[in-house]
Amino acid sequence: MYKHKLTIFLLLALMPISLLAETPEEKLAGMGIELVEPDPPEGLYVPAVTSGKLVFLSGHGPQKPDGGYVIGKVGSDISLEEGRLAARYTCIAMLGSLKQEIGELSRVKRIVRVFGMVNVADGFNQMPAVINGCSQLLIDLWGENGRHARAAVGMAELPFDISVEIEMVVELQ
């Protein structure tokens, strides 16, 4: 009996970690996050374009799980924490578009770049802290491969008064 347990343990210990790891979709489910079908674009563009091994995601906004978007300026209409949550919602929306584009999120090799725009009140300068809401989720899903180059800038206005808009570049395996 112990011999069989030892054999199973050795097989598991020698198995590549990638075979034991949860998929990004399983990790999202474990976090209570459900990806929904993206809303159609409000303009003459597509949500994602694949070129070679790179996927370019168009700017996405903070879609709330129960519908609608987080709107308003961070630093006056909404707090820093609400802005960070809006960035997380935006990341979830991008992941929905990414999944629609590539089929399975396990095809992601690494997150290359995130460009975050924050609708800010005069004097608000903590844009990186807001966009961390997106960056942290990507790191939670892909570990070191989720770390990315990034810009986080403040904007006087964003479309439809959304509080955050984020673009992303992803490398596929």
Domain limits of the chain?
22-172
What DSSP state is assigned to residue 139? H
Contact (Cβ atoms closer than 8 angstroms) between residue 18 and residue 107? no
- For 22-172, give the CATH class: alpha beta
Query: For the chain, what is the mean pLDDT?
Result: 91
pTM of the model: 0.87
How many angstroms separate the CA atoms of 61 and 44, rounded?
A: 16
The string of pLDDT tens digits covering residues 15-29 is 544 445 699 999 999
The string of pLDDT tens digits covering residues 70-113 is 999 999 999 999 999 999 999 999 999 999 999 999 999 999 99
The amino acid occupying position 94 is: M
How many angstroms separate the CA atoms of 53 and 50, rounded?
A: 7
How many angstroms separate the CA atoms of 54 and 35, rounded?
A: 21
How many angstroms separate the CA atoms of 13 and 28, rounded?
A: 25
Which two three-digit tokens encode residue 99? 């999944």
